[in-house]
Amino acid sequence: MNIHPLALVSPEAEIDPSVQIGPFCVVESGVKIGPDCILENRVVVKAGTILGARNHIFEGTVLGGLPQHVRVPERRGGLVIGSGNVIRENATVHRALEEPHATVLGDDCMLMVNTHVAHDCRLGNQVILTNNAMLAGHVTVADRAYLSGAVGVHQFCRIGTLAMVGGQAHINQDVPPYVTVDGVSSLVVGLNAVGLRRCGLDPAKVQQLKAAYRVIYRSGLMWKEILEILRTEFGFGPVAAFYEFLSTTKRGIISERRMPPNATLKIKPREEEEKSQKTLPFRQARAAG
């Protein structure tokens, strides 16, 4: 076991012999750290935290801190982190509020500098949180979702699989799977085309996602009608995630941005357009004269 002499490691922590722990780290009792993990300088791993294999934790990170809550019970929950994750400088991931619950981080995720994951959050696999992204308590982030810099997510919200949230967005409702949220307006602006391409989804399945997206955002149907169409016509394959997600929402879903709020090109009413066409030859004649 490679533990720097300036690290403070409890003898009651369970640490695999292959783990590397740098100077000024603190590992409390009750911690479990799996094979091939690396803790750089000044990492704090607090009681109730379980780390899987091959996690790389960078300077200043605090894992398993107490929930930021006005009521912290005596018997607190835990923090369970999977394998292959990269957690960069000064990130904070808090343990769950109370037993037997746990804050959960899946496998192969990246939490960049200054990210915050609050108590009772659940992150899937291959999730990316970019610098200064903040998750309030009880937030769920599904597999391969991407949250850009300085995104703030309200408590109890859900981010669907392969969703992409733009920088500085304010998320106060659920973000459906596969969509992109614009950072300026905090509204949906279409499917996450780049993410879908990178995950290797074939064109036929992408077309199904587009058709389902139009039902959700552009059909003008009632909510129950939308759910019924998603259930009956889009119930198989990746597109089925839409029904699974929307049928269980409690906060509603982010709306679509149909027209950019700061657009400079305005669409003329039909009457003005016809009037403009009638006077066009006259203006051209004056210009020529």
pLDDT in tens, 192-209: 999 999 999 999 999 999
User: What share of the chain has pLDDT > 70, as a percent?
Assistant: 89
**CA gap 58, 79 in Å, rounded:** 18
Q: In which band, very low, low, confident or very high, does the pLDDT at 100 lie, cut at 50, 70 and 90? A: very high
Q: Are 151 and 133 in contact (CB under 8 A)?
A: yes
Contacts of 53 (CB under 8 A, 6+ apart): 16, 34, 35, 36, 37, 83, 84
Chain centroid offset of residue 231 CA: 25
Query: Count of CB atoms within 10 A of residue 86's CB?
Result: 17
Which residues are known catalytic residues? 119-120, 137
Pairing state between β 179-181 and 188-191: antiparallel
Task: Return the structure tokens found at 166.
Answer: 């733009």
The tens digit of pLDDT for each residue in 32-41 reads 999 999 999 9
The tens digit of pLDDT for each residue in 137-150 reads 999 999 999 999 99
Task: Return the structure tokens found at 80.
Answer: 């369970």
What's residue 269's pLDDT?
55
Residue 80 CB burial class (10 angstroms; 0-12, 13-18, ≥19): buried
Beta bridge partners of residue 135, listed in sequence order? 117, 153
Beta strand spans in 130-254 (E): 134-135, 140-141, 146-147, 152-153, 158-159, 164-165, 170-171, 179-181, 188-191
The domains located in the chain, with CATH, are 1-138 (2.160.10.10)
Q: Is the pLDDT of residue 284 over 60?
A: no
